[in-house]
Amino acid sequence: MQLPKNLILISILYCFFLPVQNTTRAQQSFKIHSHNDYLNTVPFWTAFGSQAASIEVDLFLRNDSLLVAHEVETIHPARTFQSLYLENIRKSVQLELEHKPYLLLVDLKTEAEPTLNRLMEICEGYLDILYSPSNQNGIKLVISGKRPYSDRYKNYPAYLFFDHQELTDLALLDVDKVEMISLPFDKFSVWNGKGRIVEEERQALKAVIDAVHQIGKPIRFWATPDSKTAWKALHELGVDYINTDHPSEANKYLGNLADRLVIGQLKSDIYEPHFMYDGKQAKVDKVILLIGDGTGLAQLNAGMVGNGNQLNILNLKNIGLVKTQALDDFTTDSAAGGTAIATGKKTHNRGIGQNDTVPYNNITAALSALSFYNGLVSSDNITGATPAAFFAHQKDRDNINGIGLDLSLSAINVFIAGGRNDFLRYQNGAYDSLVSNGFEIISTLADIQNSEYLKVGYFASHHGLPSVLKGREGYLAQATFQALEFLRKKEGPFFLMVEGAQIDTGGHQNDAKKVVEEVIDFDQAVGVALEFADKNPGTLVLITADHETGGLTLPQGDVSKNLVELEFSTEDHTGIMVPIFAYGPHADSFKGVYENTEIYGKIMEIILKYHLKTDR
């Protein structure tokens, strides 16, 4: 195949300036070029507020005026270079508005010499804001479009620099007056900004970028694709000025890209389930329900990539989808979502275990009547909305006072979570009520399984628990193990709810690293549950979520590097369906698409096949 002439030229330049095997380039901070800036509703200030490093203005010389326009047909006599740009730049200086250094790229649409002459005349009145050896912070005007011959660059004032647009003379170029080199993107690639640049074109772009960098100059391409994918790809290639018509969006996207690119650090060891009882019509006398608060499919996918493209959760075969709407809102909160799962009834957002006036019978109370023991584990406070939905009845989730008192009178036999202070701060006797109602409050997590009490509790923190990133690593899996051992030793049927609470926190904070690490941490607890199920026949394991948080998408990643890009669309919950995974006897009952209230109904239907109501 015969290479196009421009690719041959690039290859020659690349070999001359920089041998391929020695190519290294540290990732630089991104710079935004506000292309055709004057077409913005608010010229200059939009780009300035977006921290653009280069702002482009097109100029026409008409009757001694320099007018800002894209073509002759749109020229307006009031839109002068001074009014739209020079005066506003001066105003920004007078107001001492903070901004990183930026260029004003002046694209001349009329003949170079007369236009430049008039430009210099006008600039005599603005020398206070323009670059000079004595004003290093002044603005550089970079002349693009119709330019004088490069051998004349040196004849122009200190504040005038040039946007060079040729490759053939790079080795001979006097670069002192060249501020950047700009080239047409379509000369090297036909990429439309979606998917990935084909490798031949990527190499061609990389070659010319490195050749320009070898002479110590930044590079910009014009007529580039203008999308998030394109901005990221061009930045990764080493393009210095990212060309865009959307400076605000580009600045926001690239500005937090490093925080949204996550390489998983935590490790969830994969337990291989044997599936001996999976989907069998056999007795169920142990139910482990794991709730990843705020965990949708994207969160699981992100955790999977971060964990070497595998999760314990994703080994399971019986999968369904759960609708999450609250009684009074399309998008549920954890209180209404938890209540739906725990009681089989919808409630309004913020409601815990009841509607406005009527308490709902929750699953722990219902199962206690069938001689089941019950347990709760959470990386939140025990009074948090999700665990509270399994024992409390309060009109508002923030009635911590009432929720704490409800726990002491509940059917819970073991709890492990944070929030000891929630039982002390109201001075209402909530902590003493736990003890007087039979709870042994353990001081060491490892001692839970050995307690001979009927009821036991462990406060993992006085206030809230830290995230995995801040030292909570391993807690949820260990707490799950301890709770399961405590319940197993009671030698009776049991129900255990385990909540990975801080996946939701990461979603609310739009903290990509937290989401990935919290999913992996949650998956460790899932591994403990699956192994327990295989060792203890009659165990049904369910993994689901109360809702999705963050409107998460995963635009790009690299599975081989455990690398994934997370992008959030909101800091709140969303109404998207969440997955449910089931393992063990009757796991196939949880396939399909259904309301969150049906989780309760399906569990109870299975249990009632094998257990009659008794008075334990």
Hey, what CATH topology would domain 30-259 get? Answer: TIM Barrel (3.20.20)
268 contacts 524 by C-beta, under 8 angstroms:
yes
Inter-CA distances, 65 with 115, 170, 499, 549, Å: 9, 34, 69, 55
Per-residue pLDDT at 174: 76
Show Cβ contacts of residue 446 under 8 Å, excluding neighbours closer than 6 positions: 478, 482
Among residues 150, 334, 378, 589, the one annotated as catalytic is 334
Average pLDDT over residues 288-302: 99
**Spans of all domains in the chain:** 30-259, 279-563
Residue 589 is a catalytic residue: no
Model-level pTM?
0.90
Which residues is 581 bridged to in the sheet? 319, 543
Q: What is the pLDDT of residues 88-132, one digit of tens each?
A: 999 999 999 988 999 999 999 999 999 999 999 999 999 999 999
Q: Please check if 534 is assigned to a binding site.
A: no
- Side-chain-side CA neighbours of 257 within 13 Å: the count stands at 21
Inter-CA distances, 95 with 68, 89, 92, 98, Å: 24, 10, 5, 9
Residue 582, amino acid: A
Per-residue pLDDT at 151: 87
Identical fold for domains 30-259 and 279-563, yes or no, is: no
Average pLDDT over residues 403-417: 98
Helices (H), 256-378: 257-260, 297-306, 334-343, 363-368
The sign of the dihedral angle between the CA atoms of 37, 38, 39, 43 is positive
Q: Please check if 246 is assigned to a binding site.
A: no
Show Cβ contacts of residue 470 under 8 Å, excluding neighbours closer than 6 positions: none
Per-residue pLDDT at 614: 59
Q: Please check if 504 is assigned to a binding site.
A: yes
Q: What is the pLDDT of residues 322-338, one digit of tens each?
A: 999 999 999 999 999 99
Q: Percent of the chain, pLDDT > 70?
A: 95
Residue 377 to residue 391: CA distance in whole angstroms: 13
Is the confidence at residue 445, as pLDDT, over 50? Answer: yes
Give the single-character DSSP code of 182.
E
Q: What is the pLDDT of residues 340-387, one digit of tens each?
A: 999 999 999 999 999 988 999 999 999 999 999 999 999 999 999 999
Q: Please check if 558 is assigned to a binding site.
A: no
Mean confidence (pLDDT) of the chain: 94
Q: Please check if 573 is assigned to a binding site.
A: no
Residue 339 to residue 350: CA distance in whole angstroms: 10
Q: What is the pLDDT of residues 198-242, one digit of tens each?
A: 999 999 999 999 999 999 999 999 999 999 999 999 999 999 999
Residue recorded with tokens 């650090």: 265
Which residues is 34 bridged to in the sheet? 55, 244
Hey, what CATH topology would domain 279-563 get? Answer: Alkaline Phosphatase, subunit A (3.40.720)
23 contacts 1 by C-beta, under 8 angstroms:
no
Residue 414 to residue 487: CA distance in whole angstroms: 8
Average pLDDT over residues 310-320: 99
